Amino acid sequence: MAKGVYIKTFGCQMNVYDSARMTDVLAPLGFTAVDTAKDAELVILNTCHIRVKAAEKVYSELGTIRRLKAAKAKSGGRMIVAVAGCTAQAEGAEVIERAPFVDLVFGPQSYHRLPELIARVLRADGTAVLDTSFPTEPKFDFLPTAAAPRGFAAFLTVQEGCDKFCSFCVVPYTRGAEYSRPVAQILAEARGLVRDGVREITLLGQNVNAYHGEGPDGREWRLGKLIRHLAEIPGLDRIRYTTSHPRDVDDEQVAAHRDVPQLMPFLHLPVQSGSDRVLAAMNRHHTVADYRRIVDRLRCARADLALSTDLIVGHPGESEEDHRATLGLVNEVRFAQAFSFKYSPRPGTPAASGASQVHDDAKSRRLGELQQLLANHHREFNEACVGRTLPVLLQKPGRHLGQLAGRSPYLQSVHVAAVAARLGEIVPAVITAATANSLSGSLAETAAE
Ligand code: SAM
Ligand code: SF4
């Protein structure tokens, strides 16, 4: 009998990819994805631990799941509740202590073992099953092919984990050591996605440009070379990748932006701070001048490259002067998109125990100032597109009837008046309006009539 699995995904795109892969692993066990937890025999919360708020969200969601599980039991049914992902990895047994109705806790590196873990839950006498090991076997070697089509744009993880140990970050502890998948495995997965209708693939990695997978020639391939080979897959019209680290930008990556038309002119390159003092305290191993040089090289290779970044305000020791330096760099680079955060102390990371923590009031004010500036730049970038014709991959229904939503080459969300039959097409759209967050347009062929 078909059983329902409901997976709620928190956090980053890697978690979105992992959730889809969990569905693939569960398909042979008879599980199909359902849209609500109450209809599910298996509920998985795929969690994030990057900031304190992300972890708190998991426990608040567990409160709702507890009530649904109790209601299901009352009507004679059974719901298995699992907590996966980075909070599961970081907090392990603590999850079960705080939420004793949870049946299964597993980390991001062990979900290929889901069939065995679920069998253990079914055999257990109510005792929760915990697997937060870092298996020696890479999970990717055990994942089946996609059980269901992924739409027109899909993620593909090529690299995982991190050995960089930035002062503020939990990722090296939750995702483990850096690992690059072999080229042949990635090409096979990409071909499968394209066969199923995918036209755009975003390559994922915590440090995607640290990619150094084994090529078919037995040598180590870097990201630029991988992108060139992916671009040879017929039907793969768009390639993106995220997240890059400034330290790992190399000539091959820059040259790919110059030479590969399928590689979209957009790059997410977190800088975190515009102050060398703070960058050193963050253990980032690059300076502001290094970042500027990288941006110049990239913009020389691809003049219309849109840049995106991550910024943290209020890292321990950040002074007003450091904050001003960040605003200065932001004004100089003018990011098309950016994510900015208040520093959030994470247990076990060096910065959390650092002296000179910044007061929350100062963090809030600095974040407000930074976000105001960033929003101005996002709006300017988007407004500069009004009147232009941009190719838009139509991916899903829009907010309003008769509208479809898609992405421009610069990753802007674009709403276009078009019928559902056009879904999956890359259409020329005349951009007619812009906000800080999105664009609206009409099909160029309609506009010309
Ligand atoms: N690997 C990427 C890099 O090095 O740029 C970033 C990965 S992390 C999942 C995404 C972003 O979350 C980081 O770039 C950083 O800006 C933010 N972040 C990480 N830890 C944080 C913390 N403790 N407090 C606030 N923001 C944090
Ligand atoms: Fe975290 Fe730094 Fe690694 Fe990025 S490079 S995942 S911010 S430790």
pLDDT digits (tens, 9 = 90+) for 58-89: 999 999 999 999 999 999 999 999 999 999 99
Ligand 1 centre and the CA of 11: distance in Å?
A: 11
pLDDT of residue 64: 95
Relative to the CA of 175, which ligand 2 atom is closest?
6
Average pLDDT (254-266) is 98
| 247 CB within 6 A, ligand 2 | no
Per-residue model confidence as pLDDT tens digits over 268-290: 999 999 999 999 999 999 999 99
Ligand 2 centre and the CA of 206: distance in Å?
A: 7
Pick the more confident residue, 253 or 445. 253
Ligand 1 centre and the CA of 272: distance in Å?
A: 8
Q: Is 442 exposed, middle or buried (0-12, 13-18, 19+ CB in 10 A)?
A: middle
pLDDT at 309 over 50: yes
- Work out the number of other CB atoms within 10 angstroms of the CB of residue 289: 9
Angle, CA of 351, 356 and 360, to the nearest 5°:
90
- Ligand whose nearest atom lies closest to the CA of 312: 1
Look up tokens 């990057």; give the residue. 50
| Mutational test site, ligand 2, from 48, 86, 171, 207, max ligand atoms within 8 Å of CB | 171
Work out the mean pLDDT of the chain and round it to a whole number: 95
pLDDT of residue 329: 98
Average pLDDT (324-331) is 98
Ligand 2 centre and the CA of 310: distance in Å?
A: 11
Of the pLDDT bands very low, low, confident and very high (cuts 50, 70, 90), residue 446 is low
pLDDT of residue 449: 45
pLDDT of residue 447: 52
Half-sphere exposure of 204 (CA within 13 A, CB side): 15
pLDDT at 32 over 70: yes
Which one-letter DSSP state was computed for residue 272?
A: B
Ligand 2 atom 5: the closest Cα is on which residue?
A: 164
Paired tokens of 379: 């709006």
pLDDT at 373 over 70: yes
What is the residue type of 297? R
pLDDT at 448 over 80: no
Of the pLDDT bands very low, low, confident and very high (cuts 50, 70, 90), residue 1 is low
pLDDT of residue 54: 87
| 51 CB within 6 A, ligand 1 | yes
What SS3 state is found at 34?
Answer: coil
Average pLDDT (134-148) is 88
Ligand 1 atom 7: the closest Cα is on which residue?
A: 206
| Mutational test site, ligand 2, from 163, 166, 178, max ligand atoms within 8 Å of CB | 166
| 169 CB within 6 A, ligand 2 | yes
Pick the more confident residue, 150 or 215. 215
pLDDT at 429 over 80: yes
| 206 CB within 6 A, ligand 2 | yes
Backbone angles phi, psi at 161, to 5 degrees: 80, 170
Across 130-134, 207-211, 397-401, 445-449, the highest mean pLDDT is recorded for: 207-211
Ligand 1 atom 1: the closest Cα is on which residue?
A: 206
Ligand 2 centre and the CA of 31: distance in Å?
A: 34
- Work out the number of other CB atoms within 10 angstroms of the CB of residue 30: 11
Task: Estimate to the nearest angstrom the gap between the alpha carbon of 30 and the chain centroid.
Answer: 28
Ligand 1 centre and the CA of 400: distance in Å?
A: 34
| 273 CB within 6 A, ligand 2 | no
pLDDT of residue 2: 79
Percent of the chain whose predicted confidence (pLDDT) is above 70:
99
pLDDT at 445 over 80: no
pLDDT at 52 over 50: yes
Relative to the CA of 165, which ligand 2 atom is closest?
8
| 344 CB within 6 A, ligand 1 | yes
Pick the more confident residue, 51 or 2. 51
Ligand 2 atom 1: the closest Cα is on which residue?
A: 169
| 7 CB within 6 A, ligand 2 | no
The structure's pTM equals 0.95
Average pLDDT (313-329) is 98
